[in-house]
Structure 1
């Protein structure tokens, strides 16, 4: 039995959203970062833990392993309901919460398995550039569709920040990056800017996903 959570990941990667959730929940966790400058599949510590060689990978206090970012976030909200980071079962917002929590990894996050190493599906520089351009277009189109079907208030599902807001905030910083996201998803743009500026997350962003010059693209 471990003392707390152990999170495998790297700054700016998909593990960042789990770190944001744990921060807002007030939960202590240990980080295990991948080797700097290499992809996850090249780090034997992660491969041994998760044969898919993907992050985030979260070891629970019980020693059990969890993978898949959406599953981790959903599980954490169930374990720490006092943080109020998800609509509870029976809440009118619950259906849309589950819908969009599944939509992000299925339609958007999955594109990065291709974009990060386009040679997985394309042969040669020219074909790889086509893959990069078309996946960027697909990502932007998916953000546009989501933006057209949500009705944000202060946050995506109401007046309280939740893990869905954290998920969109982190993933929207990846390519095609924020300027294009702002253009295709103007309603959600206001929400992610608000999450960017949340003082409870300032230290985490500075350490794990800093707002460096040109970060918006």
Structure 2
């Protein structure tokens, strides 16, 4: 199967790219600028809101990070990367899958794009500050969930760990630093030790440097 992954540097596309690398799936990277005034026409064909990631799999077009990640795990995981139906842990898997999308992600987005919620700077600042308060509780909740880690399910890595870990790398989302949450810190360190994740961050770092930008992470892979 031929995969074309639409992505921009240091965005939620990191999650799908890292998962595909970890699975050893061949894929083509299609870099797009999601911040230009006029939406990219090719991206709009696969992502109606001009967001990344989007995936074209031999004509099957998918968008939304969680949907792509879950679909890839079902197609190629060979029983890995997810907790299957019938497993008594399936309910907990689904709980955290949706928690990451509906409780964590909205307040992460508030830190980067408050202008999507309010026009004036003062209101944007208040929204971001309120989101920081909620994020602290979210990270403490996730820290408790990772107590038996390093992963959500102990030694079994699933798509949950990519969905959390690849956005937990952004230092801007923490009220203080990631180190305020020891189990989350352990989780991030374990993810950064995976060669697949190191390759992905290396690609983004070099691409950003080519654009005169620098990739800044909450924690860095060894050797950076």
Shorter-chain TM-score tier: 0.7 to 0.9
- 5+ residue gaps, structure 2, are 207-213, 220-224
8 Å Cα contact 1:17-1:167 kept in structure 2: yes
After TM superposition, the score normalised by the length of structure 1 is: 0.84
- What is the alpha-carbon distance in structure 2 between the residues aligned to residue 28 and residue 112 of structure 1? 30
The residue number in structure 1 matching 2:10 is 12
The residue number in structure 1 matching 2:218 is 216
Q: Decide which of 49, 57, 60 is 2:57's aligned counterpart.
A: 60
* Runs of 4+ off more than 6 Å: none
User: Residues 201, 216 of structure 1: CA spacing in aligned structure 2 closer, same or farther, 3 A cutoff?
Assistant: closer
Q: CA deviation at 1:200?
A: 3.6
CA RMSD of aligned residues (A): 2.6
Q: CA deviation at 1:42?
A: 3.4
- What is the alpha-carbon distance in structure 2 between the residues aligned to residue 10 and residue 157 of structure 1? 30
Q: Deviations over 1:43-85 (max 9, x none)?
A: 3332343222221111122x12111111111111110132611
Q: Deviations over 1:168-209 (max 9, x none)?
A: 1111122224963331x3222211111112234322221125
Q: CA deviation at 1:20?
A: 0.8
- 5+ residue gaps, structure 1, are none
Q: Decide which of 178, 189, 192 is 2:188's aligned counterpart.
A: 192
8 Å Cα contact 2:115-2:124 kept in structure 1: yes
- What is the alpha-carbon distance in structure 2 between the residues aligned to residue 213 and residue 11 of structure 1? 9
State yes or no: 1:96 paired with 2:78: no
After TM superposition, the score normalised by the length of structure 2 is: 0.82
Q: CA deviation at 1:10?
A: 1.2
- What is the alpha-carbon distance in structure 1 between the residues aligned to residue 137 and residue 99 of structure 2? 13
Number of equivalenced pairs: 211
111-120 vs 68-77, greater mean Cα deviation: 111-120
